[in-house]
Structure formats: structure tokens, C-alpha cells
């Protein structure tokens, strides 16, 4: 049932019940009052009649008495009966002559009996004489011939009066009910309209529209409740706003973090996973809501989350993943516990740091130290053996073979230390780049001249092809010279005697490409990128050759990088190694790579 109907029914019900009750009570009491007044008047009139009769002469005739009764009856509009002390009727306004004489003795009429006893007798009963309901009042009279005066009023007259009172009451109740109906309708409509307006505002709030209502709510209790609701909705709204601002901030922080963060609830379902963790653990694009066991394929990491969830244990461990390439992650897990009471775990959070690069760099450093030690030990052992042989006399003093060993190994160590120092300088960015126009012919010629003894020793020939576009290039001439000298020296060392080395330089697409080709054994495909690593050698046994330090190509790559260029190794289709150096053309390194910035370690 609608609120309005209910209000209407209630108000109308209350009004009807109270009106009916009040109407009945009023009608009953006014009927009683009316009846009492009629009785009082009847008694007063009877008293008047008794008084008038008492003043009569002492011996009136019967006819005189009856005439008196008739006159009084006409005057008063009531039936007047005069009764002798012995009960005989001596006068009656309703009967005359013979009829009067025939009337039975009235001495036993109830009103007469009561009047005799108490002075006044009032009864209501059926008159056998007139055959109608009457109200009787009787009083004793102080007169010789008349003992009692009696007045009778037909009840029909009284009933008429009473009926009119009832009619007035019914009309009054009816009119009041109509009024109540109108009032109930107006009140319930107004009330339900206000409640509906408040409900509409509440619906609007529920849909997220928090703009204030235009009208006031009124000053009664409904208004107070509505205002209180309004205030709490707005309070909640502003808290939600603040929460969502926090949420945006947190999301921004989490998604910009390099560390992976994943949060699972007490049931093990992922609540949050930032981009970094999705990439680290290959979780896919929408891991939220799924169970961590089905998402995280690495038993160690899943196990760590399980321990945080089940035992509330906080762990910090380094985990290696068998991914391609392999990854090393530092995984820290913690159980999420509500701050105040600590009752019941809320889930667990895990932060992953990618340690792969750090561990690799550490490994490179360790390998480097081991390599340097090893590279130094080989010539040092040889020098010590030669010196020992000379000192203990097992070799003749000043034996040129032993002195030659010492000289060669010392030279090798000198070159090794020289290359190490150079790399250290390059790493530290201490070699500034002096770019200037270089005549390529001159650079080629200088490198050839420097390596002439080695080339001649092996009977090798150097072919040079300088494209007209690359006759002059912009580069640091001394560094370009070092690049060329290293590559040419490798070619002379690894290619067979009497073979040809080809140097080419050309400029295309804003790029200068310098290549060095030999006709030697070439480099196995798997080693093509690794030859640029420090101390990397394709064939370890050839490392015994005192010629190389294992650092030459690392330096080449560094120098090319300093120019903003690259160095790469390949194999010639017809056999032999092919090294190519690409340098930015025209306006090169100045913008691309400032000389003070160190190139990445090769
Ligand atoms: P090294 O001083 O030993 O020559 P590099 O860094 O110059 O050190 O070269 C690294 C390794 O690359 C060499 O040990 C060799 O195995 C391989 N290599 C370099 N140049 C050539 C080439 N022209 N032909 C074949 N192998 C080569």
C-alpha cells in the first residue's frame, strides 16, 4: 500500500472513530438532558395545576372539575386528569360525561402510588384509557374533592423531539466526516509529496549525483531526518572522493615502480599486481581476481606467498628463475595484518626486486679480476722460470734465449697493463673525443706503417678501398687510428701468411662504414658477439700466443661507442673474419654522445 493511502486511511479512521464516539456520547447526553427537562417541566406544570385546583372553592361539581381539567389541558397542551383521594377520576381533559364516569379507578396507577408515597410520581407507560405511550406526572392536591392532579404527555411528541436531536447529531457527524476526509486527503498528500521528494533526492544520491537539492526539507522531524541523511551522504561523498584520489596516487606510484608488487587476499586471490610484477613473472594482462597458485608458475615464489598467508612469516630471499634469459629476483613477502588488534590476516604482499643486472655486473667484476690475475700469472711464471734458470746456473749466464723470454713476457705484461689502463680511462670517461675532419687515406697509411714489421714478417698484403664519399670523414683521428690498428693487427695475427687484408670505407645514409676483412679461419657464429667481451678468446689454447691481450676488441667497441657508433663481427662468405665499424656521418658524435660521458663497458 502506498504511503499516501496508508496515511489517508489512518487519519480518516481516527477521525471517524472519534467523531462517531463523540457524536454518540453527545447525542445520548443531550437526549437525556432533553428528557429530564421535559420531565421537570411536566412536574412544574402539574404543580401549577395542583395549586390552581387547591385554590378552588370547597365544593365544585363534577362537571365544574371536568371543565377545569379540559381548560387546563387546552392551555398546557397536555392531558390533565384530576383524581379524588379515593382514586375516582373527577376530571379529565380527554374524557367527558359518560366516558369520565366509566373510567376505572385510578388510585392504583403507578404514578399515583408513587406520589402518595413520595410527594411526586413520574412514570412512563401505556395508557389503557387513551391506548398510547405517555409520560405521567402526579402530585397530591390539598383539596377536599381532588386528591391528585396528574399531567400526561404523549411519548410520540417527546420521541419527535428526541429524533430531531438525533438527526442534528447525525448531520453534524456527517459534515464533520466530510471535513475529516478533506483534511486527511490534504495532509496525506502533502506528507507523501515531501517523502517522495526526499526519496527522489536519495535515489539521485544512490546514482552518484551528489548535487544539493534545490528546495528545503522543512523544519519538522522529517526535515531533520532528511537533513541528517543529506549531511552524511555528502560527508561520505567527500571521503569517497578523497579515497579515489588516494587510489589514483597509489596506482600511479605502483605502476611507475621498477619493483614488482603483488597483493593477495586471505583467500589467495590477487587483489593488485603492478606492471613490473606482471612482466617479471609473466602474469598476463589481467591477473586480478585469480588465485596466485594458478598464476605464479615458480614454486619458490608461490611457496613464499603461501608461508606468509599460512604462518604470517615475513621472508626475504633471492630466487633464480629458469626463464629465458634467466632472472634473479629478491623476493620480500609480508603478511598483511590489521594495524590495531592483529586479529585475522588480511592477505599477503610481495615485493620483487630484479637483481639480474646487479648479479651479472658482480659476476663480470669477479671474472674480470680472475682474468686479470690469470693473464698476469702466465707471463710472470715464464719470467720467474727464466730468471731462476739464469740465477741457479742451469742456464749459462746471459743466455740470449732466456733473456729473450724475459723481454717478450715483460712486453706482454706491459701491453696488458697498458690496455687495462686504457679501458679504465674509457670506463671513467676520461678520454675526450676530439672530432675533426680526417683524411681517411692518411689514417689508413699511418696504421699500415705502424704494423709494417708484423705484416712484412707474414708476407701479407693490405688492399684499401676508399669511396670518394668517405675521402674525408668527421672523427677523432687518434681513436680512429687505434680502432684500425687493433683490427689490422688481429687480421695479421689470425690470418695465414701471404694472405690479403682488405680495408674499405664508404659513407651512406648519414653513416660511415669502415670494414676490415681477412682470409683467415673466421670466427664461429656463436662467438661473433662475444669476441668484444674483455678477455674473451675463441680458442683458449691460442691464448698462449704472447701477441694478444684479449682486450683489443673491447677497446675497439668502446672507441666506436664513444663516437656514437657501433662495432660488429661477421664472417666473409668466402671464409675469413669481417669486422665493421659504423660511425655517424657528417655532424656526428658531438650531439649524439658527448665526449665526457663514458661508453658502456664492452
Ligand atoms: P686478442 O688480443 O686475443 O686478439 P681481441 O679482443 O683482439 O684479443 O680478440 C678477441 C678474440 O677474437 C681473439 O682471441 C680471437 O679468438 C678472436 N679474433 C679476433 N680477430 C680475429 C680474426 N681476424 N680472425 C679470427 N679470430 C679473431
How far apart are alpha carbons 524 and 537 in whole angstroms?
A: 11
Regarding the beta carbon of 552 and ligand 1, being less than 6 Å apart is answered yes
List all residues 6 or more positions away from 164 whose beta carbon is below 8 Å from its beta carbon. none
Q: How far is the CA of 455 from the centre of ligand 1 (A)?
A: 16
How far apart are alpha carbons 191 and 4 in whole angstroms?
A: 8
Angstrom distances, CA of residue 278 to CA of 293, 300, 335:
14, 17, 20
How far apart are alpha carbons 347 and 340 in whole angstroms?
A: 16
- Please, which pLDDT band fits residue 214 given cuts at 50, 70 and 90? low
**586: β partners:** none
Regarding the beta carbon of 549 and ligand 1, being less than 6 Å apart is answered yes
Angle at 271 between CA 265 and CA 276, to 5 degrees: 125
Given a cut of 90, is residue 304 above it in pLDDT?
yes
Residue 35 pLDDT = 86
| DSSP result, 430-486 | -S----EEEEHHHHHHHHHHHHHHHHHHHT-EEEEEE-GGGSEEEE-HHHHHHHHHH
Residue 337 pLDDT = 78
Residue 187 pLDDT = 87
H helix count then E strand count, the chain: 15, 17
* Residues of the chain above pLDDT 70, percent: 94
Regarding the beta carbon of 494 and ligand 1, being less than 6 Å apart is answered yes
Given a cut of 80, is residue 588 above it in pLDDT?
no
pTM of the complete model: 0.54
Ligand 1 mutation pick, 414, 486, 488, 494, max ligand atoms within 8 A of CB: 494
How far apart are alpha carbons 542 and 251 in whole angstroms?
A: 57
Q: How far is the CA of 537 from the centre of ligand 1 (A)?
A: 6
Q: Average pLDDT over the chain, rounded to whole?
A: 88
User: What confidence tens digit (pLDDT) does each residue in 460-501 have?
Assistant: 999 999 999 999 999 999 999 999 999 999 999 999 999 999
In the structure grid, which three cell numbers stand for residue 87, read together?
382514586
How far apart are alpha carbons 462 and 517 in whole angstroms?
A: 10
Amino acid at each position: 500500500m502506498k504511503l499516501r493511502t496508508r496515511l489517508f486511511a489512518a487519519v480518516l479512521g481516527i477521525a471517524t472513530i472519534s467523531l462517531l464516539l463523540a457524536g454518540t456520547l453527545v447525542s445520548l447526553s443531550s437526549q437525556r438532558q432533553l428528557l429530564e427537562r421535559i420531565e421537570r417541566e411536566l412536574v412544574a406544570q402539574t404543580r401549577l395545576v395542583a395549586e390552581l385546583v387547591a385554590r378552588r372553592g370547597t365544593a365544585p361539581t363534577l362537571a365544574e372539575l371536568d371543565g377545569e381539567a379540559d381548560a387546563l389541558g387546552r392551555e398546557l397542551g397536555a392531558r390533565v386528569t384530576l383524581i379524588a383521594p379515593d382514586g375516582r377520576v373527577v376530571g379529565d381533559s380527554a374524557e367527558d360525561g359518560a366516558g369520565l364516569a366509566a373510567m376505572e379507578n385510578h388510585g392504583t396507577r403507578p404514578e399515583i402510588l408513587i406520589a402518595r408515597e413520595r410527594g411526586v410520581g413520574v412514570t412512563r407507560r401505556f395508557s389503557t384509557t387513551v391506548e398510547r405511550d405517555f409520560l405521567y406526572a402526579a402530585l397530591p392536591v390539598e383539596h377536599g374533592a381532588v386528591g391528585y392532579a396528574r399531567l400526561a404527555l404523549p411519548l410520540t411528541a417527546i420521541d419527535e423531539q428526541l429524533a430531531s436531536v438525533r438527526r442534528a447529531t447525525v448531520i453534524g457527524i456527517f459534515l464533520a466526516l466530510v471535513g475529516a476526509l478533506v483534511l486527511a486527503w490534504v495532509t496525506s498528500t502533502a506528507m507523501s509529496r515531501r517523502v517522495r521528494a526526499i526519496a527522489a533526492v536519495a535515489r539521485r544520491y544512490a546514482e552518484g549525483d551528489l548535487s544539493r537539492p534545490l528546495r528545503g526539507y522543512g523544519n519538522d522531524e522529517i526535515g531533520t531526518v532528511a537533513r541528517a541523511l543529506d549531511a552524511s551522504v555528502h560527508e561520505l561523498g567527500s571521503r569517497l572522493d578523497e579515497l579515489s584520489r588516494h587510489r589514483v596516487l597509489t596506482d600511479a606510484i605502483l605502476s611507475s615502480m621498477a619493483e614488482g608488487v603483488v597483493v593477495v587476499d586471505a583467500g589467495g586471490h590477487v587483489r593488485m599486481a603492478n606492471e613490473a610484477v606482471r612482466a617479471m613473472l609473466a602474469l598476463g594482462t589481467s591477473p586480478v581476481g585469480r588465485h596466485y597458485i594458478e598464476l605464479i608458475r615458480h614454486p619458490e615464489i608461490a611457496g613464499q606467498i603461501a608461508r606468509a598467508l599460512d604462518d604470517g612469516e615475513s621472508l626475504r630471499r633471492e630466487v633464480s628463475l629458469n626463464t629465458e634469459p634467466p632472472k634473479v629476483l629478491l623476493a620480500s613477502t609480508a603478511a598483511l595484518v590489521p594495524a590495531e588488534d592483529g586479529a585475522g590476516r588480511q592477505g599477503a604482499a610481495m615485493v620483487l626486486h630484479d637483481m639480474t643486472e646487479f648479479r651479472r655486473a658482480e659476476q663480470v667484476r669477479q671474472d674480470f679480476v680472475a682474468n686479470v690475475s690469470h693473464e698476469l700469472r702466465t707471463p710472470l711464471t715464464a719470467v720467474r722460470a727464466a730468471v731462476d734458470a739464469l740465477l741457479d746456473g742451469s742456464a749459462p749466464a746471459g743466455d740470449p734465449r732466456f733473456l729473450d723470454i724475459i723481454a717478450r713476457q715483460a712486453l706482454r705484461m706491459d701491453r696488458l697493463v697498458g690496455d687495462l689502463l686504457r679501458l679504465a680511462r674509457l670506463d671513467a670517461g676520461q678520454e675526450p673525443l676530439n672530432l675533426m675532419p680526417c683524411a681517411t687515406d692518411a689514417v689508413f697509411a699511418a696504421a699500415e706503417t705502424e704494423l709494417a714489421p708484423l705484416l712484412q714478417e707474414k708476407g701479407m698484403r693490405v688492399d684499401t678501398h676508399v669511396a670518394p664519399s668517405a675521402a674525408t670523414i668527421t672523427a677523432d683521428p687518434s681513436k680512429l687510428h687505434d680502432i684500425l690498428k687493433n683490427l689490422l693487427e688481429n687480421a695479421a695475427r689470425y690470418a695465414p701468411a701471404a694472405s690479403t687484408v682488405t680495408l674499405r670505407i664508404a659513407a651512406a645514409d648519414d653513416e660511415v662504414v669502415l670494414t676490415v676483412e681477412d682470409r683467415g679461419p673466421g670466427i664461429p657464429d656463436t662467438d661473433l658477439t662475444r669476441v668484444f667481451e674483455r678477455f674473451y678468446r675463441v680458442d683458449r689454447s691460442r691464448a698462449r700466443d704472447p701477441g694478444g691481450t684479449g682486450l683489443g676488441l673491447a677497446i675497439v667497441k668502446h672507441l666506436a661507442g664513444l663516437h656514437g657508433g657501433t662495432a660488429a663481427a661477421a664472417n666473409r662468405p668466402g671464409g675469413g673474419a669481417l669486422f665493421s665499424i659504423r660511425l655517424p656521418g657528417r655532424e656526428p658524435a658531438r650531439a649524439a654522445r658527448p665526449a665526457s660521458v663514458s661508453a658502456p663497458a664492452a
